[in-house]
Amino acid sequence: MTVEEFIQGNPNRYKTNPDFILRRISGEAVIVPVGGGGLISGVAYAIKSLKPECKVYGVQAEGAPSMYESFKNKKRTNLDHAVTFADGIAVKCPGELTYEMVNQYVDDIAL
C-alpha cells in the first residue's frame, strides 16, 4: 500500500486546511523533531504537497537514532538499544509507513 492509498482510504482522519499551512511557511525550509516518525511524516507530506520546493529537515536525538540510521541506510534499521531521557522518542525501529513517508518526503535528517 502506498502512502497516497493509505491517506485516500482514511479521508476523514487526514484532513488539513492548506491555507493554514501555506500562511505559516514563509521560509525555504522547515525543521521537524523526529522520534518514531509520525509527526515528520505528516508535516513533510503536507508541506511537499502544498509547496514542493520547501525543504523538510528532521532532527533526532543521538541516543535513539533509528529513523536517522534508517534514512541514511535506505532501509528500516533496528537498533539494539535507544537511550534518551524522553522515553516517547526512544524508538528502536521506525514503523513501515512512517519510514516510507520519511523516505519519500523528507530531504535530510540530522542528529
Q: How high is the pLDDT of residue 84? A: 87
pLDDT tens sequence across 38-70 = 999 999 998 898 889 999 999 999 999 999 999
Q: How high is the pLDDT of residue 106? A: 98
103's grid cell: 523516505
Q: How high is the pLDDT of residue 46? A: 86
The pTM score is: 0.79
CB under 8 Å to 62, separation ≥6 — which residues? 111
Are the CB atoms for 43 and 34 separated by under 8 Å? no
From 55, 78, 52, select the one nearest 65 (Cα to Cα): 78
* Mean confidence (pLDDT) of the chain: 85
- Mean pLDDT, to the nearest integer, of 74-81? 95
Lowest mean pLDDT among 40-44, 46-50, 91-95, 102-106: 46-50
CB under 8 Å to 89, separation ≥6 — which residues? 33, 34, 35, 36, 60, 61, 64
